[in-house]
Amino acid sequence: MKNLGFEPSHYVLKVSGKHNLVFKTKHNDSDYLTKVAKDLIDQPDGHFTQFEIHPSDHANGEMTQAEHFVRPHLSTEL
């Protein structure tokens, strides 16, 4: 695929882990995001296990997009 001169204004970092834990952020420097991701994964007793970084020209929308749908919890307690 040819590079058509697309230079994204931001990169999006998504770090995920145990218990459906998700951390997302954006920045214009992918090297910085890589460092942030590795720091999160390397935390002792941390729950983050993997990360992905991708270029985005609509990073603000990705920050507010839900990763998982929350199911309503019906409680029997009064």
pLDDT tens-place string over residues 14-63: 999 998 889 999 999 999 999 999 999 999 989 999 999 999 887 778 77
- The DSSP letter of residue 43 is S
Q: Residue 51: name the closest of 36, 61, 29, 65 by CA.
A: 36
Backbone φ and ψ of 28, nearest 5°: -90, 5
- pLDDT higher than 70, residue 78: no
What tokens appear for 43 in the block?
């935390």
pTM metric for this prediction? 0.72
CB 66 within 8 A of CB 22: no
